[in-house]
A = this chain, B = another copy of it.
Amino acid sequence: MAENEKDRDYLGRLQDYYVDSKRIPSLQRVCELMGFASKTAAKKLLLRLENEGFVERTPDDDAWMPGSRFFERALADSHVPAGMPVAAENGAEPFMLDDYVVKTPSRTVMIPVKGDSMIDAGIHSGDIAVVERGTGASKGDFVVAIVDNEFTLKELGLERGRFILIPHNPAYPVIRPQGELEIFGVMVGLVRRYSH
């Protein structure tokens, strides 16, 4: 059941607060923000918003955090043509790109892509590969391996029980490492910028 007008307004204030303070306020502060006199009202409001997916509890269940729909407005208020049957509208919209692509910051490294050996996989020279270290790589993953003291981005393949590195460009050969294959990390994302 779509939330009512009042809650819309309340949500707006929460969003405004979030912009400045980057967190969902405490119940007491919610009261101040909304003009409530009782913390219970604040809590009930949060529960309502939780139902709609605007806020969530933290994994530790000890505080509130923005939910998947919390940032939804970014696309919504950009008025698009009347009809707008497009899927783009309501899709989960993680405004923080970082969030979208980085799951474990402490183990994530950005590596600029050099060369066109993966061009058929839509990975261009100059793109930035988002690489997660210390994650087990399996066949089919795109991995950053260390070959000749350089980073190499390839698909991890398996051939007669041995790992091989498969480029996505017919002009490049498959790499069959002699000794042990040193894998730096697994590619979990890609970022590209179009110059302007």
Q: Is A88 in contact with B102, judged by CB distance below 8 angstroms?
A: no
Chain B residue, CB-CB nearest to A21: B58
Contact among B13, B21, B85 with A149 in the assembled complex (CB-CB below 8 Å): B85
Q: Is A142 in contact with B194, judged by CB distance below 8 angstroms?
A: yes
Q: Is B114 in contact with A193, judged by CB distance below 8 angstroms?
A: no
Q: Indicate whether A196 reaches chain B with its CB closer than 8 angstroms.
A: yes
Q: How far does the alpha carbon of A86 sit from the alpha carbon of B76 in the complex, in Å?
A: 38
Please report the total number of A residues contacting B with Cβ < 8 Å.
Answer: 84
What B residues does A123 contact at CB under 8 A?
122
Q: How far does the alpha carbon of A83 sit from the alpha carbon of B123 in the complex, in Å?
A: 26
Q: Which of A50-96 contact B (CB under 8 A)?
A: 58-60, 63, 65-66, 71, 73-76, 78-88, 91, 93-96
Please give the distance in Å from A149's CB to the nearest CB on chain B.
4
Q: Indicate whether A7 reaches chain B with its CB closer than 8 angstroms.
A: no
Known: A78-B151, A86-B150, A133-B78. A191 touches B112 (CB 8 A): no
Per-residue B-contact encoding for A7-51, CB less than 8 Å = 1, 0 else: 001001101101111110000010000000000000000000000
Q: Is B122 in contact with A73, judged by CB distance below 8 angstroms?
A: no
Which of A103-111, A159-167, A172-180 touches B?
A103-111
